[in-house]
Each structure stands twice: as C-alpha cells, then as structure tokens.
Amino acid sequence: MHRRIIGLESEYGFLFVNRGDRIFPPERALEYLFQGIMSNSWSRDAFLPNGARIYQDTGSHPEYSTPECDSVRDVVLFDKAGERILSRAAERVARVLLREGIEGEIHILKNNTDSAGNSYGCHENYLIDRSVTFWRLSRSLIPFFVTRQIVTGAGGLVRDAEDHVRFVISPRALHIREKISCSTTSSRPIINTRDEPHSDPQKYRRLHIIVGDSNMSEVSDLLKVATTALVLEVVEAGGISDRMSLEDPIAAIRKISEDPSLTVRVRLESGMELTALEIQRIYLEACQEYFAREGTEDSIRDILSLWERILSELSRGDESLGREIDWMIKWQLLDSYRKGRHHSWEDPEMSMLDYQYHDVDEHRGVYNLLLRQGKVVRIALDREIEEAMETPPKTTRARLRGEHIRAALAEHRSFTVDWTYMRLNDSPQETFFWMDPFTATEP
C-alpha cells in the first residue's frame, strides 16, 4: 500500500455537574479544562508537543485532532492519546475546583449524540493526489461508507417522536442528510467537499469524511481508518468504479443503522438488493484481489484477515464480537443490564449507561472499566498510548512541529503555530514552513 497521511478529528461532549452549594458555570469549567491542557496560556486553540491540535469547537465542547499519521495503527494510538489527555486534564481541573471550594464533576464523552438531539462529529481525513477525479472517487466510496457502520458503528439508544427507544448500530448515521456537501452541520453529508489539503494544493487534496461514529473500541477505530485506506487505494487505481451505487444512500444508511439483525436489504441503482454484509464483502474481495495482484505486506494482510473475520462472525451472529466492535460490545452490555434489572429500553438508567460507556474518565468510564477487566480486545499497549500523549509520530511532519513546540516551551518563547508553519513571535522573529506532510526531518 502506498504511503498516505491520515488523521482523525473527534468532537467531545462536555458536561459539568455541580454537586455543592456554590454554583460554577459550565463555561468556566471548560475554560479551566483548556488551562489544564496548556498550562502556559489561556489559549483555547493549541497545538500540543505530540503534534496534535486541541481547541474549543462552536463555543461548547473540545475537539481533538490527531497529528498527521502515515500508519493506521498510529492513528489509533494518537486518537486514544487524545482521550487520556482530556481525561487527565479533567482530573486536574476537578482538584483545582475542589481547592476553591467548588464541588462538581466534569464528564467528557467521546460519543456522537446528546439528549437534546445534537450530533458531534468524528471526522476522518485522507490525503489524496490532486489528479484523482474527486466525483468518481466519491461515487465509488459512498456505498462503502453507508455499509461500513456494521463494523465501525458505536451503537446507541435513540428516542423517536412517540417516545419509544430503540437500539441503532450508528447514532451518527441518523444525522446524515446528503451524499456530498460543503456543510458539516446544517446538512451533514457522507463526504464533505472541504478542500483544505494543509500541504501543496497543486499536488494534494484532503478527503474529508464526516459520516463515521467516534469509537471507544480500538478494533473498530482501527478498522474504520484501515479498511477505508485500503478501499481508497483500490478505487484510486480504477477498481470497483460505481457498480455498487445505491438508489438512495441516505435512506439506506438509516435502514442499516436501525437493523441490528443485519438482514435488511438496500436497493442499488441497478435494481439489485443486497444486505450491508454482502456489500462489505464485495469491497473486501475487491481489496483482496487487488493487493494479491500488487503484492501484500504483512500489515495489509493482517487488516484484510481481521476485516474478513469480523464480517464472517457478524453473519453468524457470533457473540464473541461483544469483546471487539463497539456496537456489539454496547448491545450486549445494555441488553444484559436491561434483563438483569428488569428494565425497559425506555428506562432512564439505560440511557445513562449508554452515555457512561463513552466517558473517557480512566476510572469511571464504562468502556475503560471493561478494558481494565480484560473484557475487550485491544490493539494498542498502554505504554504506547502514554508515549503518544507526549511524542509525535516519527515519520511525518508532526515530528517537526512537536519538536519545535517542545523547544519553544522549554525556552519560554512566544509562538504561533498551524499545520504548515510555526512562527516565533518575539525577536528575532523566525518562521518555519512544513508544506510537505511526509517530511519528518529538516536541515
């Protein structure tokens, strides 16, 4: 597989709950959170020494962008590092507030919806060659993204207009309104047309995907970016084409999300009707054929084997997936809790457990509790995640950014930084440019 820059942007839900007599505004708690991450300033938009960016999005919640990665495993490591950075910042803020006589809890949730019906995004970014025809690429990829949720969906409870609650595979899927659009909020599309390559615009563009769920499961997180990278390469090489085009992708993505049995069929433009499993298998087989012909590295073979196994186990309804992919982990957790407590799906405790699954607190979050108990399969090692909290990827531009930020902080220098440059603001003013995201060293 040819080298590609990949990154994730995760929007986090933020909640501050007062527990004592002294009222403290949530907005101030959010200010303290950013101070806990960048203790040298009150900035709410900062690049970190690990090359990542964290900022306050739309005034109400934090968003974390991984540094540029050129391996899918690094994407998972740095995505999980973002969870821990926020979790530990929240712990520090809670201690500071307690010293000031303010009792309360900060909850940071890596999920996609809240009780008010808002949707938070997990945006994927893939660097592609400018010469690739964007519209043909998008048309070929849309059926893949519509059906990919059966592997990468976060799972969740949703309430309809009649106040009935049901479990869906992908909460995010229900907020998608268009196939392709420049918007990310009012008319959320599967593929966003934003053209900000953060590199040489003559050579590259950035494929911006906003259809996916935020994942707690490392397996789902890996498959989200890894299968997409493989399919993208096949489509770029002229494979798959648009023979899988769906008659109505927006209706299809909702039908699939609302069917945990995975039996619903969606209609293609050709008139053929297939299940999400069948469509995913077609993409898998196209990747297997392409990489068998072009040559398969061990890492690619591992991803293809994992993808094939997960699809096979989904087709059998294998309960072991309750240790691997998010929506199955959550389905088994909620269903077991419901039956054990004799609850209905509408019970408020069910919704609370749904949200608690996504709490990034290392001690309180339900997914992290399952992780400590050895009940979920892992991709990353703790020591690797800890390292990713401080150290950028070694093989991309993020290494240069991280090293310069670390040096500037150590010397108490004022600086301005973005994806492609860093400027020292005090005398003598210097500006460093990094237009090539594949470059990890400089003279």
Give the tokens for residue 303: 């991803």
CA dist 93 and 96 (Å) reads 5
Confidence bin at 146 (pLDDT 50/70/90): very high
Handedness of CA 159, 162, 163, 166 (dihedral sign): negative
Q: What is the reported pTM?
A: 0.95
Residues 209, 228 contacting (CB under 8 angstroms) = yes
What pLDDT, on the 0 to 100 scale, is given for residue 1?
75
Residue 124 has pLDDT above 60, yes or no: yes
Tokens describing residue 19: 């527990």
Sequence-distant (6+) residues with CB within 8 A of 186 are none
- Residue 121: pLDDT band by 50, 70, 90 thresholds? confident
What confidence score (pLDDT) does residue 21 get? 80
Residue pLDDT, tens place only, 226-275: 999 999 999 999 998 778 899 999 999 999 999 999 999 999 999 999 99
pLDDT in tens, 346-391: 999 999 999 999 999 999 999 999 999 999 999 999 999 999 999 9
- Backbone phi, psi, residue 266, to 5°: -120, 150
CA angle in degrees (0–180, nearest 5) for 173-207-273: 45
Query: Any idea which residue has 């020494």 for tokens?
Result: 49
- Residue 184 predicted with pLDDT over 60: no
Helix or strand (DSSP H, E) at 179: strand 178-181
Cα 332 from Cα 323, distance rounded (Å): 9
CA angle 45, 154, 257 (to 5 degrees): 125
In the three-class reduction of DSSP (H, G, I as helix; E, B as strand; rest coil), residue 126 is classed as strand
Region of poorest pLDDT, from 184-188, 284-288, 398-402 = 184-188
Whether the Cβ atoms of residue 334 and residue 167 lie closer than 8 Å to each other: yes
Q: Name the band, by pLDDT with cuts 50, 70 and 90, for residue 280.
A: very high
Please name the amino acid found at residue 9. Answer: E
Q: What are phi and psi of 104, to 5 degrees?
A: 180, 170
Q: Is the pLDDT of residue 186 over 80?
A: no
pLDDT at residue 116 tops 70: no
* Residues tagged active-site: 57
pLDDT at residue 275, rounded to an integer:
98
Q: How far is CA 43 from CA 48, 78, 115, 389, 409, in A?
A: 12, 21, 29, 19, 14
Which of 88, 50, 81 is CA-nearest to residue 382? 81
Contacts of 217 by beta carbon, 8 Å cutoff, 6+ apart: 324, 325, 326, 329, 367, 376
